[in-house]
């Protein structure tokens, strides 16, 4: 490659890196502008169309995002990222035809600040149909109900979402039956999987000394657990997988609703 050709490519590489960095910081409006700058100079850049689609989805511009992903397919008909996200949008369209849940609520990040052993992130199993999952968003309130020895998550309108995995569900169900109360919200959605963040908001005197999420020693915490308690922030933790430009990232750590971050003293299901 000649010196002049390499020099001419440098601005594009710089813009691409800036676009990815902005996305990792959840600065979606700026990320969209940066990708549009790339497309103005390189109108057949499939990756830029995919990144733009992601940024538009995050800002709520679904129709424009769909156009961007379709543009990516126009230049690369087999592009997996564009196909995957268009399929998810189709699922959202189908879900939109459903009656919106009455009284659906979202949970403020601040309620998940708490003491060690009182907050945890769990997975749901035997989850609901895709059409129901497609109506969810991170931060949506989850209602926890005991069904015998099982703990079930539902929407605020009573739609079944899934069962809390036994490792946590059995213990939490017993604690609830003993008088404890909890609040919960959707923490992450990926490929049909639902993760829920749960916080103990009341401990019955009869349950004293029985933590909802048994704390581990400091050495047992995962690398992604930070110091302190759950705290609200202005943006989400950056996700390394954002570099792949997908809407729903793969192999990422436990995620929390917008405004939450991981810190020490918070137990996840992987630590059990």
pLDDT per position as a tens digit, 101-136 = 444 555 555 555 555 677 888 899 988 888 788 778
How far apart are alpha carbons 228 and 220 in whole angstroms? 15
Domains located in the chain, CATH noted: 3-96 (1.25.40.10), 109-271 (3.30.70.2330)
Looking at per-residue pLDDT, the higher value among 97 and 253 belongs to: 97
Write the pLDDT tens digit of every residue in 2-19.
Answer: 444 444 457 888 999 999
> Model pTM?
0.46
Tokens 């035997």 belong to residue: 126
Is pLDDT of 237 > 70?
Answer: no
How far apart are alpha carbons 266 and 229 in whole angstroms? 7
Q: For all residues of the chain together, what is the average pLDDT?
A: 73
8 Å CB contact between 135 and 101: yes
CA quadruple 250, 256, 261, 264: dihedral sign: negative
Instruction: For residue 14, give both structure tokens.
Output: 């710089």
For the chain, what's the residue count?
Answer: 272
How far apart are alpha carbons 220 and 110 in whole angstroms? 26
């Amino acid at each position: 490659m000649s010196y002049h050709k390499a020099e001419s490519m440098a601005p594009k590489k710089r813009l691409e890196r800036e676009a990815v960095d902005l996305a990792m910081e959840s600065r979606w409006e700026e990320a969209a502008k940066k990708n549009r700058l790339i497309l103005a100079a390189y109108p057949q850049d499939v990756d830029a169309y995919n990144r733009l689609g992601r940024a538009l989805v995050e800002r709520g511009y679904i129709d424009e995002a769909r156009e961007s992903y379709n543009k990516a397919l126009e230049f690369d008909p087999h592009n997996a990222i564009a196909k995957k996200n268009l399929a998810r949008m189709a699922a959202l369209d189908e879900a939109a035809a459903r009656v919106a849940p009455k009284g659906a609520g979202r949970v403020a990040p601040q309620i998940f600040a708490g003491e060690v052993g009182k907050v945890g992130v769990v997975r749901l199993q035997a989850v609901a149909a895709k059409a129901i999952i497609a109506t969810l968003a991170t931060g949506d309130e989850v209602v926890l109900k005991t069904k015998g020895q099982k703990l079930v998550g539902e929407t605020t309108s009573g739609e079944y979402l899934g069962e809390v995995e036994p490792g946590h569900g059995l213990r939490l169900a017993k604690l609830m039956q003993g008088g404890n109360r909890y609040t919960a919200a959707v923490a992450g959605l990926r490929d049909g999987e639902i993760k829920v963040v749960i916080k103990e908001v009341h401990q019955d005197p009869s349950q004293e000394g029985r933590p909802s999420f048994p704390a581990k020693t400091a050495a047992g915490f995962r690398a992604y657990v930070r110091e302190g308690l759950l705290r609200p922030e202005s943006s989400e933790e950056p996700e390394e997988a954002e570099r792949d430009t997908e809407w729903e990232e793969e192999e990422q750590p436990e995620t929390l609703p917008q405004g939450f971050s991981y810190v020490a003293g918070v137990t996840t299901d992987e630590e059990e």
